[in-house]
Amino acid sequence: MNEPQRRKIPVGISSCLLGEEVRHDGGHKHKRYLTEVLSKFFEFRSLCPELEAGLGVPRPAIHLRRYDSGLRLITTNGDADHTEAMEGWIQAVLPALSGLRGFILKAKSPSCGMERIRIHNQEGEITRRDGRGLFAQALMDAYPLLPVEEEGRLNDNHLRENFIERVFVYDDWCRMMEQGLTASGLLSFHTRHKFQLLAHCQKTYRELGPMLANLRAEPLADLAERYISSFMQAMNRQISRGDHANAMQHLMGFLRNTMSDADRKMLREQIDLYQQGQVPLVVPMTLLRMAQRREPVAYLKQQDYLTPYPDELGLRNHV
């Protein structure tokens, strides 16, 4: 029997990163990791704000200029202002992006750049380097829970792992909400991701459990909104080796009656070596998963922390 086709997660992406020739010079910025690796798990939905706002290909280069009235999208030679065209397109397209579970943006773009975008004065001189592209800003304002990352930052092992983990968690949340929010659904989500939350932020972990202790204290929809806002904010925080070690030690507590003394000793040693930076996360995590597989503990079977994304991505080999 053939293996069932894997469900792909809808993720937005700047078109040039898929190899589409949409840049101002008619070129592209194809990233093979995206098309050859992540495309196996993500259903990419590409957008090019500048092309789709009507600027054409090829087109004069553009940048952001600060005026008293706000930021304007101006050709670098100062001959044309494309702000209204871009803003009109953004407002038209944003509602159609509600089904996305993440977005990968092109760095350094005055439309798509997520950070460190150059801001010019009215004469075209650079005055700041902390701007954000017009589309990127509107996207992040409209969908504050959406995991968003720039393609260049995905070259960093920790940022890549963090982004992909957030996409899978957010997808789980959205699918739960699409089925209809219920108290049991919310509690099940929290249970599945409890150890991920613990690893990312102990403070938020300690806050969200009590928040769910009395589901009748406020309307469920309001509670869920407060919950996921805090949850996704915590997930955005990168996990340190000490954080992972703490979470794994908590997991060991559930396996204390099913592991031999020798196995526990080996696992503790590997957690210590991981915390010291001598082995990657996959080493102690594999031992934990093997222990759980040999003598399954029902509670741990629910924990996505053990497998937060497909093993084929190999992310824990590098963090």
Token reading at 112: 């798509």
pLDDT digits (tens, 9 = 90+) for 64-115: 999 999 999 999 999 999 999 999 999 999 999 999 999 999 999 999 999 9
Domain boundaries, the chain: 9-155, 157-319
Q: Which spans in the chain are helix H?
A: 32-36, 49-50, 83-93, 134-142, 157-178, 183-192, 194-200, 202-211, 220-235, 241-254, 261-275, 282-294, 298-301
Global pTM value: 0.96
Give the number of other Cβ atoms within 10 Å of residue 151's Cβ: 20
- Dihedral over alpha carbons 95, 97, 102, 103 (to 10 degrees): -100
User: What confidence tens digit (pLDDT) does each residue in 218-269 have?
Assistant: 999 999 999 999 999 999 999 999 999 999 999 999 998 999 999 999 999 9
Q: Which one-letter DSSP state was computed for residue 127?
A: E
Tokens of residue 256, six digits:
């204390």
